Amino acid sequence: MQIGIEVVALIVTIALAFIGYLATYLNSLAISRRSERLQLVTAQLNELYGPLFVITQTGNALFQALQARAANLGWQFINEDAPLSVEAVSEWQIWVEEVFMPLNEELQQILIHKAHLIREEAMPACLKAFSAHHAGYRALVRKWHDGNFSETTSLVPYPAEVIAYAEQSYGELKREQLRMMAYQMRRNRRRQTHTT
């Protein structure tokens, strides 16, 4: 009878040790996954969606200010981009070459080099449209430099959806990052409380 109790005690001890090991392993795995997710979200914010948000917000604010100024000066536009008068076209070219193209070029480089951080499985349509819009302006600026001023806008219009996409994606990722960081801070405080 004594041997049976010792065997049961040994089995219970081994089972408890195994359960403890399994719980520790699963907890470590969950912590590791949360940490990896936080690193990914932080990289997405720092390297792609943060710059995308800032550049699109800046470009949009400048474009709206330019449109307001044009309206105050009485300029007429072919469409929302292209002014009709020679004076307005000259002003438009300066803004395109000196302001919008550098911003768009920076954003294009970010998209090219950080595409692996895009949240979606496929490249969003608004980002594809932005790339095409930017390429169209590159060709247009080259024509201007060659003395051809017959066109004043890209073949592909600026996709306004990219502004909303940047704002929404940045906001969602930022909220997720803050939640994960708050969870990590609470967890660290609890660990510190248990160790002291």
- Quickly tell me which residue has 């004076």 as its tokens: 87
Comparison of pLDDT for 61 and 76, the residue scoring more: 61
Token digits for 190?
């609890």
The yes-or-no verdict on residue 79 having pLDDT over 90 is no
The yes-or-no verdict on residue 93 having pLDDT over 60 is yes
pLDDT in tens, 96-154: 999 999 999 999 999 999 999 999 999 999 999 999 999 999 999 999 999 888 888 89
For position 10, what pLDDT does the model report? 75
Please provide the average confidence, as pLDDT, over all residues in the chain: 86
